[in-house]
Amino acid sequence: MSIEHRDDTGDRFGMWLFLYTEVILFSGLFILYAMALAKFPQQYAEASHKLNIYFGSINTIVLLTSSLTIALAVSAIQMGRVKHCLNLCWVTVALAILFLVNKYFEWSAEISHGIYPGSEQLAEMGEGVTSFFNLYYFTAGLHGLHVLIGASLIGVVAVLTAKGKVTSDRYTLLENSALYWHLVDLVWIFLFPLYYLIL
Amino acid sequence: MNLPTNPTAQAVDNVLIYIFGFSLLLLLGITVATIYLVIKYRRSKYPEPTSETHGSLWLEALWTLLPTLIVLTMFWYGWSNYLGLRNVPEGAMEVQATARMWSWQFEYPDGRKTSKLFVPVGQPVKVTMTSVDVLHNFFVPAFRIKRDTLPGIETYVWFQATEPGSYDIFCAEYCGTGHSAMITSVEALPPEEYATWAQPQQPSDEPRGLIVLQEQGCTGCHSLDGSDGIGPSLYQLSGQQRKLMADGQTKELTIDADYLRRAIRHPEAEIVEGYDPVMPAYDSDTLSEEDLQAVIDYLLGKVKKAEKAPLDARKLLEDSGCLGCHSEDGSEVIGPTFKGLGNREVVIERDGKEEKIKIDRDYLVRAIKQPKADMVKGYPPIMPAGDYLTDEEIDAIVDHLLKQ
Amino acid sequence: MTEHKHEPVPYRTFIQIWLALLVLTGVTIAVSRVNLGALNVWVALAVASVKSSLVIFYFMHLRQESRLFKICLLVMLVILAIFIGMTFIDVLYR
Amino acid sequence: MSETTTYTGFWQESPRPGILGWLLTTDHKRIGILYLGSLISMFIVGACLGLAIRLELIAPGRTIMDAQTYNATFTVHGVIMIFMFLIPSIPAAFGNLLLPIHIGARDVSFPKLNLLSWYCYIIGAVLAVASIFGGGGAPDTGWTFYVPFSTQTSTNVSLAAFAAFMLGFSSILTGINFVTTVHRLRCEGMTWGRLPLFIWTLYATAWIQVLATPMIGITLVLIILERTFGAGLFDAARGGDPILYQHLFWIYSHPAVYIMILPGMGVISEVIPTFARKPLFGYWAMALSSLAIAFAGSLVWAHHMYASGMSDLAILVFSFLTFIVAIPSAIKVFNWVSTLYKGSIELAPPMLYALAFIFNFAIGGLGGLALGAAASDIHLHDTYFVVGHFHYVMFGGGGFALFAAMHYWLPKFTGRMYNHKVAVIGWALLFVGFNITYMAMQAVGIQGMPRRYYDYVPEFTTLNQVSTVGSWVMALGLIIMFANLWRGMRSGRPIGLNPWGAATLEWSIPSPPPLENFGEEDPVVTRGPYEFKGVVADEY
Ligand code: HEA
Ligand code: HEA
Ligand code: CUA
Ligand SMILES: [Cu+2]
């Protein structure tokens, strides 16, 4: 009945607005981080050394690469290379899973050392260290949740692409999922140096 | 008038008057203008508008600039007077305040502790505050001062009482069930009286345990007279049975010294049935071993109250304001006279029914504690309840009245 | 409404950006091993900002979007800076 | 009965018939009606709790409930009124009803998202109600959820916080939708300079919804995490900071008060020109001041924290900025009043509500100045003066604006007119009762009665009694008003296109509007929203 209304730019614009809300959401945690860092610079450096920089760096590379693959996927669909696009999407999902697996090992190692929010051991290490790890777990946890959501989203879009619902003519869905995925990457770009690299 | 002006109250009042004054003018201006325009340009008189103007840059600029100037003066005046609330004068007496759910404790430089804040008139007082549980707020309306107390962080206020008297201290930061009951007072005493009060205390005639209960704020949650509060009453505990919740199970025991010790040091371990686990734990830093023993002895009734100097009932009647409404010479003021009270009969209204009774001790106690329960016929229900009097004081007063 | 579609970005551009991002990651890690005191955090943030600009402008196609998108991003960043910056006014001077 | 012959517009036309046609609708008008119905229901629940609060406070000591119940009552009252009533009120109900029509569009940019946002609202509302009856008892923290109390109390705070999170999400989705719609879907000729003021304010509001709401989201999540893990994020002994919680909370919640008032200001800016038959005075000043309020409103949050132990420098800065926000509000008030000058004024019910709005908002806003100044706030903070202030701006402002909107636009959307005489009676009772209730609260606050007080010292009795009696007058007025509107909607006299003689687009289409708003052809706009020349009012 209603005439099909289509506004790809509007859809992208809406997605950008949504990404802003995500940025602000994370910024709450970054505010807490910034204030605590100003208060306990020494203890933060000390706590940061307890994190495993190898896990962090590998995950950074994984995420950057996944960002590349999903960006390529958008170019691919624009050029009508559906097969390419599908492969790139699935690679992205695989990288996301790799990221989470990595995270899983990293966290299990830390938790087995008795470092987790509310633990006794943490409390003994001093207020600055406690605060660092509290924020680390909550920020990385929230980010991990976003990785999960983003990967599922891309998975769904890949299926739709395979079914021909996403084409070189209408690919906003893929484009918006890619935007979301890039945001996940952006958050990590800040999270990584702030938590793993404070000296 | 040469009433001494209270420095903090003055600083705030100046700003209040300035802002409220301006606000009133603006409000009046806007309201009058609106009503005038609405009446003048009513549709019955002007079926069509007489102007089509879309605006005026001049006016727009005017009423951007004017409010800007007005609010900037308000801001500056508010800020500069605020500094007066923050800058503590030299030579202020220092008091340490600790807030807890739902009582205050004040510690003076000489280590003495009270639950009301005693200060000398005329001297600035700096109160450094902290909290042991959640946020509270130290608010003295009469001095216009207010500041949150935070767990683990120190804050301060200062004030200077310029008139002797008792000034309410409210808790102005929401802190749970007892928030509105977290009331105490600043007792401003003339310097001489304060000096006597602050003298190194003679061995007090109150049992040590009772003093500790009051100092630590236990009485904020526990009554000592059997009435129910946030926690169970501490009245005649010895030998009572208790149902307790521990580790999710209920158990029953008879109150003894061991149990009381646990209930105070580790209240979260066993919870008396029907109460919330809100009682803070008192470790040996807060409550020393001797004090704890004294409390336990007191609670179990092992100490006898030292014989006290008899209370001066006549003075009590005067201090408590009773004589403002009741006469001693038979004249009718606001309430019935005290003359001949001891052997009088009165007609009272109870639950809407009239009854004639002979005055006795029970009736008088009730009349003071719950004046609204039995109303003497022909008088308005305006007598405040005497809950600011202790039981001993009421006893003394009743004795005195019966002798009239 | 004028329908505005982007030209596809060639694969090569994206790969170049990706390489740049990897290099920058190496740079922050390397810099973080040198003790610069308080400067360390600022350098880390500066590099992260460069990296995120690359992601935003290229991966996220902001370069190809209209001015509206860019203004809005700026608005968001200003607000974000206000939120963080003004909280410092309290915490640093308490 | 003329029912059969009257036109029913979008009430009947729908791709799906019956109840599903409502529950699965993506039509902005139906979603607007859904919102209106749900938030009025929440308002009635919240208002009855308000009455209960007042009843308890009629005398010192216990009257109808115990302290714990009282604390839960004002908490739920506050949460309902803010998150479930006032924040969504005008934007979600009348914004949805009108935004597309005002800009000449068929619908909003994301109709499905719009429906989703209503469902988020409903889920939030249901969870909030569930938190009252669930295991630990109704939340008792106050709507501000201040730590550490909120992380320690054993009541259902987590559930309530999650409910508020969902409501925030709903608000974000509406915001995204509106910003996009205003940018993308204006019809031909609808330049920025021809947007009705209502749209300007909705646009400014939508930006606040998008950029500030996520902050409350993360804050509430942190409370939930803190309650589950006990990590000590805000515990000074464990490296946290309880004052930072207050920053995070107010970073959202101060801008939120402008979410509550800006659309109301937009409504007033529509009503006043219509009933003065004169263009709004200072269109651009009004439009830009809306954006200015939205922006400057994000800079002042810490004025709620002067007594919290925050740094004095922060008090200096935030107090200064607080006064700056007052300026655009002042501009608006002056422009409304000067619109009346040389107009042709009709005191129809919507106009009465609009004038009452100006009065109430002026009192509330000027009271805000006393709160914004550092010294005076120290005395007034967390007393009943604050309670009076925010009821004046929220109820006297936001609430009255909603009532103005209901009297102004409901005839359009139902096609029927309510009884004007009864409306005036309801208005008068409401207005008088309102002022008695809250003026007394302000007075008792100046005397020093703290808020959230279950019990008070006897000196405060008289004013509290006055306030309670006032609340009954107000209740009477509200019941009359709602009953009259309801009867009018069901069985009032049918109206034509344009009963008020207004010039914005919605008045040029049938009442109630058809599903497609403007039919097959998109409209082309050639004049501003307040050019009344040649617009004739229909008889009704
Ligand atoms: C709709 C909601 C709304 C609105 C619009 C406002 C508007 C304002 N508010 Fe209010 N406020 C609240 C809702 C609102 N507030 C709530 C809910 C709380 C309590 C929260 C809680 O603790 O629970 C609160 C609390 C609050 C406080 C904290 C009090 C405390 O707890 O100590 C302060 C302090 O600065 C404040 C200030 C202001 C100011 C300066 C404005 C300004 O925007 C007002 C501007 C308006 C005018 C100035 C009047 C109109 C203009 C004229 C009549 C022309 C003449 C004017 C001049 C020349 C200046 N408000
Ligand atoms: C929009 C917001 C809003 C509105 C409209 C109201 C409305 C009312 N509020 Fe509310 N109030 C708040 C927002 C609001 N409140 C907030 C945010 C708080 C702070 C909470 C906190 O501290 O955390 C608060 C706190 C608060 C307090 C302070 C509690 C305390 O600090 O201890 C009091 C005390 O009197 C109060 C009273 C009232 C009253 C009497 C009404 C009355 O106006 C209600 C009038 C309405 C009626 C009387 C109902 C009549 C209608 C009907 C019965 C329906 C009939 C229906 C049909 C016929 C269809 N409120
Ligand atoms: Cu202590 Cu309120
Ligand atoms: Cu505010």
Kindly give the interhelix angle for D283-296 and D242-276, rounded to the nearest 10 degrees: 170
| 3-state SS, residue D70 | helix
CA B379 to ligand 4 centroid distance, Å? 49
Residue of A nearest to D16 (CA): A1
C-beta separation of D494 from D242 below 8 A: no
CA D223 to ligand 3 centroid distance, Å? 21
C-beta separation of B264 from B87 below 8 A: no
Between chain A and chain C, the number of residue pairs with CB atoms below 8 A apart is 130
Q: Which atom of ligand 1 is nearest to the CA of D372?
A: 35
Residue D311 at interface with chain A, using a CB cutoff of 8 Å: no
Q: Of A85, A92, A77, A65, which Cα lies nearest the Cα of A154? A: A92
The ligand with the least distance to the CA atom of D57 is: 2
Sort out which chain D residues have CB atoms less than 8 A from B49's CB and list them. Answer: 276-278, 342-344, 532
**Residue C89 to residue D247, Cβ atoms within 8 A:** no
CATH class of the domain at D17-508: mainly alpha
Mean pLDDT of D173-196: 92
Residue of D nearest to C78 (CA): D295
C-beta separation of B377 from B347 below 8 A: yes
Q: What is the pLDDT of residue B88?
A: 92
Q: Sign of the CA dihedral D507, D510, D516, D518? A: negative
What is the Cα–Cα distance from B365 to A140, expressed in whole angstroms?
Answer: 66
The mean predicted confidence, pLDDT, of chain D is 91
For residue A183, what pLDDT band results from cuts at 50, 70 and 90? very high
Could you give the number of structural domains in chain A?
Answer: 1
User: Which amino acid, one-letter code, is at D223?
Assistant: I
Residue B48 CA: distances (Å) to CA of A36, D274, D276, D502: 65, 12, 9, 14
What is the Cα–Cα distance from B156 to D200, expressed in whole angstroms?
Answer: 46
Strands (E), D336-390: none
What is the Cα–Cα distance from D420 to D411, expressed in whole angstroms?
Answer: 12
Q: Among partner residues C22, C56, C73, which is closest to A61 by beta-carbon distance? A: C22
CA B98 to ligand 4 centroid distance, Å? 29
For every one of its 94 residues, what pLDDT tens digit does chain C have, with 9 covering 90 and above?
445 567 788 889 999 999 999 999 999 998 888 877 778 888 899 999 999 999 999 999 998 888 999 999 999 999 999 999 999 999 888 8
- Sheet (strand B241-246) strand order: B249-254, B241-246, B271-272
Residue B188 makes CB contacts below 8 A (sequence gap 6+) with B119, B120, B121, B161, B163, B164, B165, B166, B167
In this structure, which residue's CA is closest to atom 1 in ligand 3? B136
Q: What is the pLDDT of residue D231?
A: 82
Sort out which chain D residues have CB atoms less than 8 A from B135's CB and list them. Answer: 146, 148-149, 242
Phi and psi based region of residue D390 (left: phi greater than 0; alpha: psi -120 to 50; beta: remaining): alpha
User: Which amino acid, one-letter code, is at D12?
Assistant: Q
Residue A106 CA: distances (Å) to CA of A62, C28, D78: 15, 21, 43
State CA D511 to chain mean position distance: 25
- Give the DSSP H/E element, type plus range, for residue D119: helix D111-133
Q: Within a 13 Å sphere around the CA of A98, how many CA atoms are in the beta-carbon half?
A: 17
According to CATH, the topology of domain B313-402 is: Cytochrome Bc1 Complex; Chain D, domain 2 (1.10.760)
Q: Sign of the CA dihedral D399, D400, D404, D406? A: positive
The ligand with the least distance to the CA atom of B104 is: 3
Substitution target in B28, B73, B134 with the highest count of D β-carbons within 10 Å is B134
CATH ID of B93-198, from 2.40.100.10, 2.60.40.420, 3.40.30.10, 3.90.1150.10: 2.60.40.420
Q: Which atom of ligand 3 is nearest to the CA of D452?
A: 2
* Chain C residues 12-71 within an 8 A CB cutoff of chain A: 14-15, 17-18, 21-22, 25, 28-29, 32-36, 38, 40-41, 44-45, 47-48, 51-52, 55-56, 58-61, 65-66, 68-69
B353 φ/ψ angles, rounded to the nearest 5 degrees: -105, 145
**pLDDT reading at A1 higher than 70:** no
- Pairing label, strands B155-160, B113-114: unpaired
What is the Cα–Cα distance from D267 to D263, expressed in whole angstroms?
Answer: 6
Q: Among partner residues D179, D225, D240, which is closest to A17 by beta-carbon distance? A: D179
Residue B21 makes CB contacts below 8 A (sequence gap 6+) with none
**pLDDT reading at D49 higher than 70:** yes
Q: Each residue of D354-385: pLDDT tens digit?
A: 999 999 999 999 999 999 999 999 999 999 99
Q: Each residue of D1-17: pLDDT tens digit?
A: 344 446 777 888 777 77
CATH 2.30.29 matches B7-86: no
| 3-state SS, residue D241 | coil
C-beta separation of A58 from D209 below 8 A: no
What is the Cα–Cα distance from A36 to C88, expressed in whole angstroms?
Answer: 11
Residue D174 at interface with chain A, using a CB cutoff of 8 Å: no
Beta partners for residue B103, in sequence order: B100
Both structure tokens of D175? 């915001």
Sort out which chain A residues have CB atoms less than 8 A from D247's CB and list them. Answer: 31
Strands (E), D135-222: none
**Residue C59 to residue A182, Cβ atoms within 8 A:** yes
**Residue C68 to residue A31, Cβ atoms within 8 A:** no
| Residues of chain B where predicted confidence (pLDDT) is lower than 70 | 1-4, 200-205, 302-311, 315, 318-325, 331-334, 380-388
Q: Domain segments of chain B: what residues?
A: 7-86, 93-198, 208-299, 313-402
CA D372 to ligand 4 centroid distance, Å? 9
Rounded to 5, what percent of chain D is helix, strand, coil?
A: 70, 0, 25
CA B134 to ligand 3 centroid distance, Å? 8
C-beta separation of B270 from B262 below 8 A: yes
Q: What is the pLDDT of residue A95?
A: 95
Q: What is the pLDDT of residue D44?
A: 94
Q: What is the pLDDT of residue D2?
A: 40
C-beta separation of A155 from A73 below 8 A: no
What is the Cα–Cα distance from D190 to D468, expressed in whole angstroms?
Answer: 49
Least Cα separation, residue C75 to chain D (angstroms): 9
For residue A64, what pLDDT band results from cuts at 50, 70 and 90? very high
- Give the DSSP H/E element, type plus range, for residue D493: strand D493-494
**pTM of the entire structure?**
0.86
Give the DSSP letter string of chain A: -PPP---HHHHHHHHHHHHHHHHHHHHHHHHHHHHHHHH-HHHHHHHHHHS-HHHHHHHHHHHHHHHHHHHHHHHHHHTT-HHHHHHHHHHHHHHHHHHHHHHHHHHHHHHHTT-STT-HHHHHT-HHHHHHHHHHHHHHHHHHHHHHHHHHHHHHHHHHHHTTSS-SS--HHHHHHHHHHHHHHHHHHHHHHHHH---
Q: Among partner residues B55, B84, B146, which is closest to D285 by beta-carbon distance? A: B55
Per-residue HEC secondary structure of D281-314 comes to CCHHHHHHHHHHHHHHHHHCHHHHCCCCCCCHHH
Owning domain of residue A174:
2-196
Sort out which chain C residues have CB atoms less than 8 A from A199's CB and list them. Answer: 32-36, 40
Q: Identical fold at B208-299 and B313-402?
A: yes
Q: Among partner residues D236, D280, D283, which is closest to B153 by beta-carbon distance? A: D236
For residue D463, what pLDDT band results from cuts at 50, 70 and 90? very high
Q: Among partner residues C3, C8, C88, which is closest to A75 by beta-carbon distance? A: C8
What is the Cα–Cα distance from A170 to A155, expressed in whole angstroms?
Answer: 18
Residue D294 CA: distances (Å) to CA of D169, D257, D261, D300, D534: 19, 10, 11, 11, 35
Residue of C nearest to D186 (CA): C1
Q: Each residue of D286-335: pLDDT tens digit?
A: 999 999 999 999 999 999 999 998 999 999 999 999 999 999 999 999 99
- Pocket mutation for ligand 1, best pick of B18, B20, B25, B26 (most atoms within 8 Å of C-beta): B26
C-beta separation of D53 from D73 below 8 A: yes
What is the Cα–Cα distance from D253 to D144, expressed in whole angstroms?
Answer: 9
Count the Cβ atoms, other than its own, within 10 Å of residue D241.
Answer: 24
Q: What is the pLDDT of residue D527?
A: 83
Residue of D nearest to C77 (CA): D211
**Residue A78 to residue C33, Cβ atoms within 8 A:** no
Q: What is the pLDDT of residue D3?
A: 43
- Sheet (strand B136-140) strand order: B117-120, B184-189, B165-171, B136-140, B145-149
Q: Which atom of ligand 1 is nearest to the CA of D398?
A: 1
* Chain D residues 346-365 within an 8 A CB cutoff of chain A: none
Beta partners for residue B245, in sequence order: B250, B271
Per-residue HEC secondary structure of chain B comes to CCCCCCHHHHHHHHHHHHHHHHHHHHHHHHHHHHHHHHHHCECCCCCCCCCCCCCCHHHHHHHHHHHHHHHHHHHHHHHHHHHHHHCCCCCCEEEEEEEECCEEEEECCCCCEECCEEEECCCEEEEEEEECCCCEEEEEHHHCEEEEEEECECEEEEEECCCCEEEEEEECCCCCCCHHHCCEEEEEECHHHHHHHHCCCCCCCCCHHHHHHHHCCHHHCCCCCCCCCCCCCCCCCCCCEEEEEECCEEEEEECCHHHHHHHHHCCCCCEECCCCCCCCCCCCCCCCHHHHHHHHHHHCCCCCCCCCCCCCHHHHHHHCCHHHCCCCCCCCCCCCCCCCHHHCEEEEEECCEEEEEECCHHHHHHHHHCCCCCEECCCCCCCCCCCCCCHHHHHHHHHHHHCC
> CATH assignment of B208-299?
1.10.760.10
What is the Cα–Cα distance from B194 to D436, expressed in whole angstroms?
Answer: 45
C-beta separation of C22 from A66 below 8 A: no
CATH number of the domain to which A48 belongs: 1.20.120.80
Least Cα separation, residue A96 to chain D (angstroms): 24
- Give the DSSP H/E element, type plus range, for residue D113: helix D111-133
Q: Domain segments of chain C: what residues?
A: 1-60, 66-94
- Pairing label, strands B136-140, B345-350: unpaired
Q: Among partner residues A13, A35, A134, which is closest to D231 by beta-carbon distance? A: A134
CA B199 to ligand 1 centroid distance, Å? 49
